Amino acid sequence: MSGAALLSASLQRVRLQGRPVLQDIALELPAGRWTAIVGPNGAGKSTLLRALAGLIAIEGQVLLEGRPLPAWPARERARKLAWLGQNEGGADDLRAQDVVMLGRLPHQAWLAPPSAQDLDCVRAAMQQTQSWDWRERRLATLSGGERQRVLLARALAVRAELLMMDEPLAHLDPPHQADWIAIVRQSVAAGGSVVSVLHELNIALRADWLLVMAGGRVLHRGRPQDPATHAALQQVFDQRLRMLEIEPGQWLALPLTG
Ligand SMILES: Nc1ncnc2c1ncn2[C@@H]1O[C@H](COP(=O)(O)OP(=O)(O)OP(=O)(O)O)[C@@H](O)[C@H]1O
């Protein structure tokens, strides 16, 4: 694997409760690219993302900037790699602003108060996700979409080079989905790398690169515009998609009924 990859992985196997869930996956994630992981329910998308983030035990190796993930000091790694998981809980009693400040922990000295830079990052991230207005409200009092925008702000406040998100669009309405795409594009344009598990195929088709999974393997990787990518999508979704090019290079995947 080339040394240029921000993250590279070689996974022989990942087991959950003794059951093999992923096998034989090798990939490289360069800087400056948005990669979307797609595939049917149970394909192993979330497990792959968790494996790449170092959140679960693997048989194999994940390298961040060429260094194995476990060899990174925890705080340094947490500054490089930000995570937004599915249905995250545990912070319900905190004010939204304090939840976002958690994203600054890897930058703060032990028990030190937040710096002016931390406060700036929190405000900027909350403004980016349009969640600043409810900064004083407790997370538990927010709607699903409002909460998701606060959690996205927390991940953005880290200012990490690598942003990993599992179903980040859950609960977001179309304008905020569009805002999410804009945020991802900004991050990638600034040299960052974004990896997202997405169920919304039409959003995934706007990524730079797709990983198409089924049965615990990556069956195909390629650009969303490539006919081979469309064929892989058809294969994993039982030929039940209608692929439409709505403008040059921009595709939609509609479910075929009947
Ligand atoms: N904790 C667990 N213990 C055992 N098996 C698990 C566990 N979590 C997930 N699995 C199994 O691993 C496989 C992959 O699950 P995973 O959540 O990675 O799939 P996914 O592609 O993200 O699915 P979905 O689209 O439904 O969210 C599934 O068969 C699932 O049942």
Q: Looking at ligand 1, which residue's alpha carbon is closest to its atom 7? A: 16
Q: Which atom of ligand 1 is nearest to the CA of 216?
A: 14
pLDDT number for residue 4? 67
Ligand 1 site: residues with CB under 6 angstroms? 16-17, 19, 21, 39, 41-47
Instruction: Give the Å distance between the CA of 238 and the centre of ligand 1.
Output: 19
Are 94 and 134 in contact, with CB atoms under 8 Å apart?
no
Question: 244 forms bridges with which residues in the sheet?
Answer: 252
Residue with tokens 């022989």: 12
Are 40 and 219 in contact, with CB atoms under 8 Å apart?
no
Provide the CA 172 distance to its chain's centre, in angstroms. Answer: 15
Report the DSSP pairing between strands 193-197 and 34-38.
Answer: parallel
Instruction: Give the Å distance between the CA of 139 and the centre of ligand 1.
Output: 27
Tell whether domain 33-54+72-225 is in CATH 3.40.50.300: yes
pLDDT number for residue 2? 41
* ipTM (interface pTM): 0.98
Which residues lie below 8 Å from residue 154, measured CB to CB, with a gap of 6+? 84, 99, 100, 102, 103, 125
The per-residue pLDDT for range 25-65, each reduced to its tens digit, is 999 999 999 999 999 999 999 999 999 999 999 999 999 99
* DSSP classification of residue 73: -
* DSSP classification of residue 182: H
Nearest to 147 by CA among 167, 125, 165, 170: 170
Q: How far apart are CA 209 and CA 110, in angstroms?
A: 39
The per-residue pLDDT for range 163-177, each reduced to its tens digit, is 999 999 988 999 999
Q: How far apart are CA 140 and CA 137, in angstroms?
A: 8
The per-residue pLDDT for range 104-160, each reduced to its tens digit, is 999 988 888 899 999 999 999 999 999 999 999 999 999 999 999 999 999 999 999
216 falls in which pLDDT band (50, 70, 90)?
very high
Instruction: Give the Å distance between the CA of 35 and the centre of ligand 1.
Output: 20
Q: Looking at ligand 1, which residue's alpha carbon is closest to its atom 28? A: 42
Q: Looking at ligand 1, which residue's alpha carbon is closest to its atom 16? A: 44
Q: Looking at ligand 1, which residue's alpha carbon is closest to its atom 10? A: 16
Instruction: Give the Å distance between the CA of 257 and the centre of ligand 1.
Output: 26
Are 195 and 164 in contact, with CB atoms under 8 Å apart?
yes
